[in-house]
C-alpha cells in the first residue's frame, strides 16, 4: 500500500489537491485535508484502496466473500448514490466521489465539506469532557439526523466522536455518511471504529439502525466520562466483552443515564430507536441546567486526558446456615384382614417398601427446600430510580424483570410499581417485576384538516400540544377552515402519530378566496375583454351598448366595477360596448334670427359655434367643420354648428 505521506500534493480527479493527512480511517483508508482547485474551497478527501473492497466478511468468524475489483467499485458507488440526495441540516453528505489511481495503486475516493467546528474526538483527546446538558443537546441533534436516515432506509454505520463536529453552542453535525455502507465487513474497521461496534457485529457486520443507536450511546457516554465501556485492543475481544452485558452507566451521569443505558442494551430488539431516544432526551431537558458554551480548543498546550478507574465492589458473601435434615418417621404397612399367600405377601411387602422409600426421598427434598430456600419481604421501591431499585434487591436471589410504561405522575426512569407489591413475601428464584416509567404519556396527533379553526385548536390542545397558526387565502376552502397542518420539528409525521406533549403543531387556516384585481377593459374588443377576465378567474357580463363619443363602435366603452377594484374568484365584471357618438336631427333654422336659431339648437342638444356676417339679419346657411348642413341632417349630439348671416 502506498504510504500516506507520499500522496501529499497529489491531485485527485484533476481537481482535489491532497494537502495534509488527518487522523482517522481504517488501515486501507486515508483521510486528507484537501483543496478543491476549481472553487478554492477546503474539503476532506477519503481514499479507500480498491483491494480492501474486494474481500467482504460478515464478522470475525464469518465466511469471506470475494468480489472482483470492478464489482467492488460499483458496489461502493451504488452506496454513495443512495445517500447523495440526503438533505438534513445535521448531516454532512458527500459532495463528490469516484475512482483514481495514485502512486500506481487504485483507489475509490469520497469528498466531503470541511467543517470549521471541532470534532468530539479532538475535544476528548485534549482532556475535555462535556456536561450532561451539553451532551444532551448534541444527542438531540444526532437523534434527529439518524431518525431522518433510518426513515430513508439508510444506516449511518460509523457514528463515533471523530465524525461528530460541535460548535461553541453545543450544536452538532454528523459526517462520515456513506463510508461504512460502501465498505462492508469488520475487516475494514480501524481500531477506533471497532471501539463503537455493537455486539451483534460478531454475527453480522452489516450496519443497522440499532447498531447506530448503540454507537451513539457509547459516544454520548464517552463525552461525559471519557471512557468507552468494554473497549479492547481488537474487535473480537471488544465484541466478546459486550455480548450480553449492559452498559455500566453511573448515576454520576445524571438523568440522561437512563436513556443512554437503554440505547446501549446488548440485544438490538431491547434498544430504543433514534426517535424514541430523542424524545426521551427532550423530556429530560427541563431537568437539567442550560448548557454552557463549549470553549474553543487552544493549541498552546495539551491537557492530560481525564479518565476514571472505577473499582468493582464485590459484596461479601454471608454463608447461609442449613438446618440439618429432619428425620422422617415412616409408617410401616400393616397386613389387612384379607389373608394372602406367603408369595403374595412378600410381593406386597416389596411394593410397600418401595413406596415408603420414595416417600422418604420426596419428603426429604420438600423439607430441605422448605428449610433452605429463603423468602424476603418486598421493599417499598415506588419512586426510586431503576438502577437504585435493582441494586437494592440484587442480593435477594430474585429473578428481576424490567417492564416499562408511561406515566404522567412518575418521573422518567423511576419505579411506578412492583409485582408483587411492597410488603409481600417472595422466595429466592421467583420473578420480581419492576415497572419503570418511560416518562409522561404521549400525545396522539388528531386529524384537524377540514375542521374550523376553533375546533382544530381545541382538539390539538386537548392532547397537550402547542398550536401556532398562519392564515392563507384559499379559493377552495371556506374562510376559517383548517387547510393543512404540520409538526414543526418532525414534518413527516401524520395523524395518529405519537409525540411528546408540548410538541408544536402549526396549522394553516383559510383566509377565504384570493381577491383578484379587476383589469382595464375600456377600449378592448369583447373577445379580448373576456380573455382578460378569464386570465384572473373572473366572469364577464355584457350590458346594453352605450353611446360613446371617445370609443369606437364595438369596443368596450364602460365597465363595473372600475379598474383595480378587487373581486373574489368568479366575481362578475359588467361591461358595455360602444355604439359610437349619439346624434340628433338638425332643426330648420335658416331664415331665423340669431336668438331664434340659438333657442332651437339648444332644444335639439346642439350649440351655436362661430357666427359670421351681420348677426342682426336672418340665418342664411349652417355649416360644421366647413361642411354645409341642411335641415334634417344627423349631427353629433352636444356638438356646435356655425351660423352664416348675410
pLDDT at 36: 93
Task: Confirm if 42 and 114 have CB atoms less than 8 A apart.
Answer: yes
Q: Say if residue 60's pLDDT is above 50.
A: no
| 404-409 contacts, C-beta under 8 A, 24 or more apart | 404/435, 404/436, 404/437, 404/438, 405/435, 405/437, 405/438, 406/437, 406/438, 406/439, 406/440, 406/441, 406/442, 407/437, 407/438, 407/439, 407/440, 407/441, 408/440, 408/441
Q: Where are the alpha helices (DSSP H) in 373-433?
A: 386-393
pLDDT digits (tens, 9 = 90+) for 305-360: 333 343 433 444 444 433 433 343 433 443 433 344 555 555 556 666 666 666 66
Task: Confirm if 542 and 535 have CB atoms less than 8 A apart.
Answer: no
pLDDT digits (tens, 9 = 90+) for 358-396: 666 666 555 555 556 788 999 999 998 877 888 788 888
Pairing of strands 572-577, 539-542: parallel
Q: How many CB atoms lie within 10 A of CB 231?
A: 18
Say how far apart CA 214 and CA 263 lie, in whole Å: 6
pLDDT at 317: 41
Q: Give the pLDDT mean for 592-599.
A: 93
Q: Give the pLDDT mean for 47-57.
A: 73
Say how far apart CA 346 and CA 559 lie, in whole Å: 131
As a residue count, the chain comes to: 646
Query: What is residue 428's DSSP assignment?
Result: T
Say how far apart CA 462 and CA 459 lie, in whole Å: 5
**Which residues lie closer than 8 Å to 27 by C-beta, 6 or more apart?**
1, 52, 190
Q: Smallest Cα–Cα separation from 139: which of 23, 32, 218?
A: 218
Q: What angle do CA 363, 364, 369 make, to 5 degrees?
A: 100
pLDDT at 364: 58
Q: Say if residue 608's pLDDT is above 80.
A: yes
Query: What is residue 470's DSSP assignment?
Result: E
Query: What is residue 228's DSSP assignment?
Result: -
Write out the three cell numbers for 55. 474481500
Q: Residue 484 — pLDDT band, cuts 50, 70, 90?
A: very high
pLDDT at 50: 83
Say how far apart CA 302 and CA 300 lie, in whole Å: 7
Say how far apart CA 412 and CA 406 lie, in whole Å: 8
- Distances from the Cα of 312 to the Cα of 309, 379, 412, angstroms: 9, 25, 27
Task: Confirm if 151 and 279 have CB atoms less than 8 A apart.
Answer: no
The rounded percent of the chain whose pLDDT value lies above 90 is: 42
Q: Say if residue 61's pLDDT is above 90.
A: no
Task: Confirm if 99 and 193 have CB atoms less than 8 A apart.
Answer: no
Number of helices and strands in the chain (H, E): 16, 32
Dihedral pair phi/psi, residue 645, rounded to 5°: -110, 160
Q: Give the pLDDT mean for 399-419.
A: 87
- Distances from the Cα of 119 to the Cα of 114, 153, 175, angstroms: 11, 26, 10
Task: Confirm if 479 and 512 have CB atoms less than 8 A apart.
Answer: yes
pLDDT at 307: 38
Mapped onto helix, strand or coil, the DSSP state of residue 275 is: helix
Say how far apart CA 84 and CA 95 lie, in whole Å: 8
Q: Say if residue 183's pLDDT is above 70.
A: no
Q: Smallest Cα–Cα separation from 416: which of 377, 376, 378, 380?
A: 380
Bigger pLDDT: 622 or 300? 622
Bigger pLDDT: 232 or 63? 232
Write out the three cell numbers for 512. 377565504
Mapped onto helix, strand or coil, the DSSP state of residue 299 is: coil
Q: How many CB atoms lie within 10 A of CB 269?
A: 6
Q: Residue 278 — pLDDT band, cuts 50, 70, 90?
A: very high
pLDDT digits (tens, 9 = 90+) for 2-14: 677 788 999 998 9
The rounded percent of the chain whose pLDDT value lies above 70 is: 83
pLDDT at 141: 93
Say how far apart CA 181 and CA 206 lie, in whole Å: 8
Pairing of strands 482-487, 504-510: antiparallel
Task: Confirm if 379 and 392 have CB atoms less than 8 A apart.
Answer: yes
Q: Smallest Cα–Cα separation from 284: which of 443, 135, 159, 129?
A: 135
> Concatenated DSSP letters for 524-551?
-BHHHHHHHHHHTT-EEEE---B--SSS
Bigger pLDDT: 583 or 341? 583
Task: Confirm if 390 and 400 have CB atoms less than 8 A apart.
Answer: yes
Say how far apart CA 532 and CA 523 lie, in whole Å: 13
Tell whether the torsion through CA atoms of 8, 11, 12 and 16 is positive or negative: positive
pLDDT digits (tens, 9 = 90+) for 79-131: 788 777 788 889 888 888 888 988 888 888 989 888 877 889 989 988 889 99
pLDDT at 188: 58
Helix, strand, coil content of the chain in percent (nearest 5) = 30, 25, 45
Q: Say if residue 490's pLDDT is above 90.
A: no
Question: At which residue does the C-alpha cell 473497549 appear?
Answer: 231
Q: Give the pLDDT mean for 507-516.
A: 89
Q: Residue 538 — pLDDT band, cuts 50, 70, 90?
A: very high
Q: Give the pLDDT mean for 211-235.
A: 92
Q: Smallest Cα–Cα separation from 182: which of 290, 29, 312?
A: 29
Task: Confirm if 188 and 206 have CB atoms less than 8 A apart.
Answer: no
Mapped onto helix, strand or coil, the DSSP state of residue 51 is: helix
Cis before 420? omega within 30: yes
pLDDT digits (tens, 9 = 90+) for 456-481: 999 999 999 999 999 988 888 888 99
Bigger pLDDT: 411 or 54? 411
- Distances from the Cα of 608 to the Cα of 131, 628, 635, 638, 641, angstroms: 101, 15, 13, 10, 5
Say how far apart CA 321 and CA 374 lie, in whole Å: 11
pLDDT at 603: 93
Say how far apart CA 139 and CA 283 lie, in whole Å: 13
Write out the three cell numbers for 376. 424476603
61 CB burial (10 A radius; 0-12, 13-18, 19+): exposed
- Distances from the Cα of 269 to the Cα of 211, 272, 374, 438, angstroms: 11, 8, 34, 17
Dihedral pair phi/psi, residue 48, rounded to 5°: -125, 130
Query: What is residue 586's DSSP assignment?
Result: P
pLDDT at 303: 36
CA dihedral 383, 498, 445, 504 (to 10 degrees): 70
pLDDT at 295: 77
Amino acid at each position: 500500500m502506498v504510504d500516506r505521506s507520499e500522496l501529499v500534493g497529489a491531485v485527485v480527479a484533476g481537481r482535489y489537491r491532497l494537502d495534509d493527512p488527518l487522523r482517522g480511517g481504517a488501515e486501507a483508508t486515508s483521510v486528507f485535508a484537501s483543496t478543491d482547485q476549481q472553487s478554492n474551497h477546503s474539503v476532506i478527501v477519503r481514499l479507500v484502496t480498491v483491494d480492501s473492497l474486494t474481500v467482504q466478511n460478515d464478522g470475525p468468524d464469518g465466511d469471506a466473500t470475494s468480489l472482483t475489483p470492478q464489482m467492488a467499485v460499483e458496489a461502493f458507488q451504488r452506496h454513495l448514490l443512495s445517500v447523495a440526495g440526503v438533505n438534513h441540516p445535521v448531516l454532512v453528505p458527500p459532495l463528490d466521489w469516484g475512482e483514481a489511481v495514485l502512486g500506481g495503486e487504485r483507489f475509490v475516493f469520497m469528498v466531503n465539506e470541511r467543517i470549521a467546528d471541532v470534532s468530539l474526538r479532538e475535544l476528548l483527546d485534549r482532556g475535555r469532557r462535556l456536561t450532561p446538558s451539553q451532551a444532551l443537546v448534541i444527542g438531540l441533534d444526532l437523534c434527529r439526523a439518524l431518525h431522518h436516515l433510518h426513515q430513508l432506509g439508510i444506516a449511518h454505520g460509523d457514528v463515533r466522536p471523530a465524525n461528530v463536529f460541535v460548535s461553541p453552542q453545543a450544536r452538532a453535525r454528523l459526517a462520515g455518511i456513506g463510508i461504512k455502507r460502501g465498505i462492508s465487513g469488520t475487516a475494514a474497521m480501524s481500531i477506533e471504529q471497532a471501539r463503537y461496534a455493537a455486539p451483534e457485529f460478531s454475527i453480522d457486520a452489516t450496519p443497522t439502525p440499532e447498531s447506530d443507536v448503540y454507537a451513539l450511546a457509547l459516544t454520548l457516554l464517552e463525552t461525559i466520562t471519557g471512557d468507552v465501556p468494554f473497549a479492547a485492543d481488537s474487535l473480537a475481544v471488544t465484541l466478546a466483552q459486550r455480548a450480553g452485558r449492559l452498559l455500566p452507566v453511573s448515576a454520576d451521569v445524571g438523568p440522561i443515564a437512563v436513556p443512554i443505558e437503554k440505547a446501549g442494551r446488548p440485544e438490538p430488539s431491547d434498544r430504543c430507536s433514534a426517535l424514541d431516544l430523542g424524545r426521551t432526551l427532550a423530556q429530560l431537558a427541563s431537568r437539567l441546567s442550560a448548557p454552557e458554551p463549549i470553549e474553543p480548543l487552544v493549541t498552546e498546550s495539551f491537557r492530560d486526558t481525564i479518565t476514571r478507574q472505577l473499582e468493582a465492589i464485590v459484596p461479601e458473601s454471608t454463608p447461609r446456615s442449613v438446618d440439618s435434615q429432619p428425620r422422617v418417621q415412616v409408617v410401616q404397612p400393616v397386613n389387612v384382614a384379607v389373608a394372602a399367600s406367603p408369595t403374595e405377601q412378600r410381593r406386597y411387602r416389596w411394593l410397600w417398601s418401595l413406596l415408603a422409600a420414595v416417600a422418604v426421598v420426596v419428603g426429604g427434598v420438600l423439607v430441605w427446600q422448605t428449610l433452605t430456600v429463603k423468602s424476603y419481604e418486598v421493599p417499598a421501591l415506588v419512586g426510586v430510580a431503576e438502577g437504585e431499585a435493582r441494586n437494592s434487591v440484587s442480593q435477594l436471589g430474585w429473578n428481576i424483570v424490567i417492564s416499562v410504561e408511561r406515566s404522567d405522575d412518575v418521573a422518567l426512569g423511576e419505579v411506578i410499581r412492583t409485582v408483587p407489591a411492597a410488603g409481600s413475601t417472595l422466595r429466592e428464584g421467583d420473578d420480581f417485576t419492576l415497572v419503570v416509567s418511560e416518562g409522561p404519556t404521549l400525545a396522539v396527533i388528531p386529524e384537524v384538516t377540514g375542521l374550523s379553526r376553533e375546533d382544530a385548536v381545541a382538539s390539538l390542545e386537548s392532547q397537550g400540544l402547542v398550536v401556532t397558526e398562519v392564515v392563507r387565502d384559499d379559493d377552495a376552502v371556506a374562510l376559517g377552515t383548517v387547510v393543512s397542518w404540520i409538526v414543526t420539528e418532525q414534518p413527516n409525521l401524520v395523524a395518529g402519530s405519537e409525540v411528546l406533549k408540548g410538541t408544536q403543531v402549526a396549522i394553516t387556516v383559510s383566509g377565504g378566496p384570493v381577491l383578484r384585481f379587476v383589469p382595464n377593459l375600456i377600449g378592448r374588443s369583447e373577445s379580448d375583454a373576456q380573455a382578460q377576465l378569464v386570465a384572473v378567474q373572473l366572469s364577464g357580463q355584457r350590458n346594453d351598448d352605450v353611446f360613446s363619443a371617445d370609443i369606437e363602435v364595438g369596443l368596450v366603452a364602460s365597465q363595473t366595477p372600475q379598474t383595480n377594484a378587487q373581486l373574489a374568484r368568479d366575481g362578475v365584471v359588467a361591461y358595455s360596448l360602444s355604439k359610437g357618438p349619439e346624434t340628433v336631427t338638425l332643426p330648420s333654422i335658416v331664415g331665423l334670427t340669431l336668438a331664434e336659431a340659438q333657442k332651437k339648437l339648444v332644444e335639439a342638444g346642439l350649440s351655436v359655434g362661430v357666427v359670421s356676417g351681420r348677426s342682426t339679419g336672418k340665418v342664411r346657411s349652417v355649416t360644421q367643420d366647413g361642411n354645409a348642413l341642411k335641415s334634417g341632417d344627423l349631427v353629433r349630439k352636444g356638438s356646435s354648428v356655425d351660423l352664416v348671416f348675410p
